[in-house]
Structure 1
Amino acid sequence: MGQLDRRTFLKAGAAVALTGCSDSEPATATPKPTGTTRPTAAAAAPNWNSFARSLKGRLFLPSTSGYAAAHQLFNPRWDATRPAAVVKAVNATDVQRSITFARANRLVMVPKSGGHSYVGASAIADGLMVDLGAIRGMSYANGVLTVGAGARLYDVHAFLDRYGRSLPTGTCPTVGVAGLALGGGLGIHTRAFGLTCDRILSMGVITADGVARTISTTVDPDLFWAMRGSGGGNLGVVTSFRFATIPATRLGFFRLTWPESKAAAVVRGWQQFARSAPVTSWGNLHLVARSNGSLSVHVLGISTTGDAAAAAAQLESFVGSRASTRSITVKTHMEAVEYLGGGTTSPRTGFLAGSDVLKGPMDAATIIALLGAVKSAARAKTPASAIIDPLGGQAAKQPAGGASWPWRSALGVIQWYSGLAAHPSSAQLRVAQTFVTNGHRAVRKYSAGGYVNYVETGRSVSTYYGASLDRLRSVKQKYDPGNFFRTPYTLS
């Protein structure tokens, strides 16, 4: 998860018991080989021993001690998805050799950074998982962070804090920097400094032909454009990034809560805040289904100037009433990181989630429908929330060289989130999916599409790319003409 996500939802006092998707939702299915990978005759079994000897990292097979832990993702729901093997890569050469081996043996290959995909996209039944978690080295010079693709967000912030620097990211401490950045990357600094992908200066990437490239605005600029916002696993495997950093300053925080009776006014006021507040102000809206059938309504926000009181007062003026409870604090860079992330790490958690990108402020009827979707979940005792992050400000501007992230003019992004047991029943999955489906239906009139970092099963991949789709398909054809990088959730 990128942005103020489930971690903030839990940490900020909106926690509910997490338990509930469609019982027909597949683990990442193994697609049939296509293009240059199509077999012409029966293939010999992969020579795993030879492959293992070629790697500096380690290869895990189902018979290998540690295999079960090696293929685990953040969400325990995907534990039953068993890859044919897992590569624990330690450098770019391991990634190159994995691609070559997978192509030669007609195996579907997927990369894994933090493993937080909503649909378990970094797991692959009977295919090859390449885990980049050990490629996490970092260096800093002259405002630029160089970092391995497997680095986790907390580690990135802790490293940069030594230099008084930061990076616009999401908040979950164990999210991998690659997964977040390639899909966009939303967070508390989105309005002031743009998306995580907007800060990328260059990337080291291995494409489907096994070639190692360093791409930027001047080298393979079309691929650089595409990979800033199209999501992971589509066009190549990124092994490193260079990011332009931002100052690590003290931040003013506010948390405002209103009674359920004010919910519609809060949504209207938040929409005005998202459009009119200065770029130094940010706040996301939480509508949470309580187990007693009621709604919790609050906004958690920051001011990059440190003056959270002024930002809170502006939001209250837009709502038309003072919050029933208010909290105003100031935090250092690392205090903010740990507060928003709920600590320095995050335990594995079951959940089902989806998204809608709001193309503009919702009308009264849509607001009522949105609140009704969350209220229905509350009445059904479904642990659920709608969390809306604002866009605008710097996020509305294209970075140098452009980026494929398509939602520059949007108002915000709704995350539909329902907790699940680690290994939920079919009934629990159905209940959770009902909430997400009801949410989509409620805001359909104002939805431009979905956020690719919140990819969900059963939704057309094209809805995540908006006006960038045709150009992305052209780049895909150029760099991956055989469609080697292919799962049900990738470009084709």
Structure 2
Amino acid sequence: MSQFDRRTVLKTAGALAATSLAGCTDAKKVTTGAANNLTSVAAAPNWNSFARSLAGRLYLQASAGYANTHLLFNPRWDAVRPTAVVKAANATDVQKAINFARANKLVLVPKSGGHSYVGASTISNGMQLDVGAIRGISYANGVVTIGAGARLYDVHAFLDKCGRSLPTGTCPTVGIAGLALGGGMGIHTRAFGLTCDRILSMGVITADGKPHNVSATVEPDLFWALRGSGGGNLGVVTSFRISTIPATKLGFFRLTWTESQAAAVVRGWQMFAQTAPITSWGNLHIDARSNGTLSIHVLGISTTGSAAAAAAQLESFVGVRASTRSITVKTHMEAVKYLGGGTTSPRTGFLAGSDVLKGPMNAATITALLGAVKAAARAKTPASAILDPLGGQAAKQPAGGASWAWRSALGVVQWYSGTPAHPTTAQLKTAQTFITNGHRAVRAYSAGGYVNYVETGRSVSTYYGASLPRLQTVKKKYDPANFFHTTYTLA
């Protein structure tokens, strides 16, 4: 299946300036008086002592293995070199890393799967705290306990043996932490809500190095804030307890239309997103072809095990039968592999952004949206507008509340442009032009952006809607000195 299909549910996180991620010094300068004929010396952090204290490993830039250790999913960020990478083995290592970074005035950024669109889990002249080794999984009585570094494929493979699943995205190498903390959309969003909605409790280390186990009844303000604010804002989460769902067979449909029917398909998809039963889900792909034309298709599922009725309902809303149609049934793990493109993901270059649609777009806006993708096709820019529906269970606030702000929205548009692993300035500019044109096209219907699709050049406040004031209050309570700070974190 195509790269765009593989990223159907979770297009997991581009930017234009790697150095914008908040620089800091990795040594404090101590200068003595000239009369003593002494020069400036660096009171460097005691890395040796710190390394010995860890159950995991510390990598400095000169360490063997550093070259591969600090890399993210998107190769664009390969040139960003943290001063140190901590591969935490457990929550105690996370505490020690936070305390060490704070004592030595190092900016610290957490990394789980490393899929951030803006490379937010790496940083020049700072510390990358990698929780990828904290990936244990256990299950009992409908609840799964997951280490923050676990990858989505591993989570689903484990739960499948128990006959259970989770509503998540699809990219197999995405870390559970980044996905869940930012919300977590997927094929089960309408039937079971977001990933964050099913979190029962979390283990988290805050900026003061103290551990917390938060839930709807224990430190409920931090619990609320973590469910939807994104990673790296309020602390480093080390574990999740999440309520599972049945791992049932799913009905799949894939419907394709010609470019001449594109506007009708968008209108029909909007009606489907508004009125289809919560057992149905389908996302719309509008892809730029290199020959200057558009490819239009919807990939959808039905949790009933048969997708025929869902496909027929969508076609009725469009008003035109699909040019090609495929209807299949897949087991839980067949669906996971199909949607994720297999069991792992190759590192991929891309630039992307998003708009949350507050309601159905009118004819002029639909024309403008299609025009933005068409302009990219004519420019031979690899580009897609991918529309994911919300509604259903995702429209309901979960027990304990969540800071994810878009309960009343129709859906989310992702603007996605594939790039070479190490794109030129011109290639990035071309990709950014497409994304900017997309934003402009739907501006009248945009409520903001999806924090898991964070992008440069956009105010952080636009990802949080009405939740922003309360989030800022929680931030001041748990991180009063703004220890967790980069260009993309809450202020």
TM range (shorter): over 0.9
Query: Does 1:9 find its partner at 2:20?
Result: no
Structure 1 contact 7–171 (Cα < 8 Å) conserved = no
Tell me the distance in 2 between the aligned counterparts of 1:341 and 1:211: 36
Deviation at 1:41, TM superposition (A): 7.1
Residue 410 of structure 1 aligns with which residue? 409
* Aligned residue number for residue 75 of structure 2: 76
Q: What is the CA-CA distance between 1:77 and the residue it aligns to?
A: 0.2
Provide the C-alpha distance between the structure 1 equivalents of 2:79 and 2:483, rounded to a whole number of angstroms: 24
Determine the structure 1 residue equivalent to 2:418.
419
8 Å CA contact 2:18, 2:119 repeated in 1:
no
Deviations 1:117-142 (A, max 9, x none): 00000001010001001000010000
The Cα of 1:69 is off from its aligned counterpart by 0.5
2:7–2:170 Cα contact (<8 Å) kept: no
Shift in Å at residue 25 of structure 1? Answer: 2.5
Map 1:329-340 to 2 at 5 A. Answer: 329-340=328-339
Tell me how far apart the structure 2 counterparts of residues 188 and 28 of structure 1 sit (CA, whole Å). 34
**Correspondence for 2:316:** 317
Structure 2 matches for 1:35-434, cutoff 5 A?
A: 44-434=43-433
The Cα shift of 1:29 comes to: 2.1
Name the residue aligned to 1:488.
487
How far residue 26 of structure 1 moved from its aligned partner, in angstroms, is 3.0
Distance in structure 1 (CA, Å) of the matches to 2:4 and 2:136: 27
Are the equivalent residues in 2 in contact too, given 1:279–1:393 (CA < 8 A)? yes
Structure 1 distance, partners of 2:360, 2:45, is 54
Residues 24-33 or 265-274, more deviating: 24-33
What is the aligned-residue identity percentage?
A: 79
In 2, Cα distance between the equivalents of 1:120 and 1:28? 10
Q: Out of 14, 21, 28, which is 1:29 matched to? A: 21
Matched letter for residue 50 of structure 2: F
Return closer, same or farther for 1:40/1:406 CA change in 2, 3 Å cut-off: farther
Contact kept? 1:28, 1:119, Cα under 8 Å: no
Asked whether the equivalents of residues 168 and 186 of structure 2 are also in contact (C-alpha less than 8 Å), the reply is: yes
Q: Is the 8 A contact 2:24 2:125 kept in 1?
A: no
SS of equivalent to 2:343: coil
Number of equivalent positions: 476
User: Contact (CA 8 Å) 1:7, 1:340: kept in 2 or not?
Assistant: no
| CA positional deviation for 1:30 | 2.2
Equivalent-residue separation in structure 1 for 2:412 and 2:474 (angstroms): 26
Shift of 1:266: 0.1
Compute the displacement of 1:9 (Å). Answer: 2.3
Cα distance in 2, alignment partners of residues 401 and 40 from structure 1: 47
Give a deviation string over 1:81-124, Cα, whole Å, max 9, x none: 00000000010000000000000000000100000000000001
- Following the alignment from structure 2 to structure 1, what is the Cα–Cα distance between the partners of residues 271 and 201? 36
Q: How far 1:27 sits from its partner (Å)?
A: 4.0
Aligned partner letter, 1:69 = N
How far apart in 2 are the matches of 1:181 and 1:27? 27
Aligned-pair distance for 1:383?
Answer: 0.3
Give TM-score scaled by structure 2 length: 0.95
Contact 1:251 1:304 in 2 (8 A): yes
CA distances 1:326-362 after superposition (whole Å, capped 9, x unpaired) = 0000000000000000000000000000000000000
The CA deviation at 1:11 is 7.9
The 8 Å contact of residues 6 and 338 in structure 2, kept in 1 or not, is answered as: no
2:39 aligns with: none
Q: Against the structure 1 CA distance between its residues 244 and 6, is the aligned structure 2 distance closer, same or farther, given a 3 Å change threshold?
A: farther
Give 4+ residue runs of structure 1 displaced > 4 Å after superposition. Answer: 5-8, 39-43
Letter in 2 for 1:9: D
Structure 1: gaps (5+ residues): 13-20
Q: Is the 8 A contact 1:308 1:329 kept in 2?
A: yes
Structure 2: runs of 5 or more not aligned: 9-13, 32-41
The 1-side partners of 2:131 and 2:19 are apart by 21
Give CA deviations for 1:231-274 in whole Å, capped at 9, x if unaligned: 00000000000000000000000000000000000000000000
Q: Is the 8 A contact 1:29 1:125 kept in 2?
A: yes
1:287-336, Cα deviation, whole Å (9 max, x unpaired): 00000000000000000001200000000000001000000000000000
Alpha-carbon contact 2:167-2:195 (below 8 Å) kept: yes
2:454 matched to 1:455?
yes
Contact 1:199 1:244 in 2 (8 A): yes
Structure 2 Cα separation of the partners of residues 272 and 147 of structure 1 = 37
Q: Which residue of 2 aligns with 1:473?
A: 472
SS in structure 2 at match of 1:443: helix
- Cα distance in structure 1, aligned partners of 2:154 and 2:19: 29
CA distance in 1, matches of 2:74, 2:105: 28
RCO higher in structure (CA 8 A, sep ≥6): 1
Once residues 407 and 40 of structure 1 are traced to their aligned partners in structure 2, the CA distance between those partners, rounded to angstroms, is 46
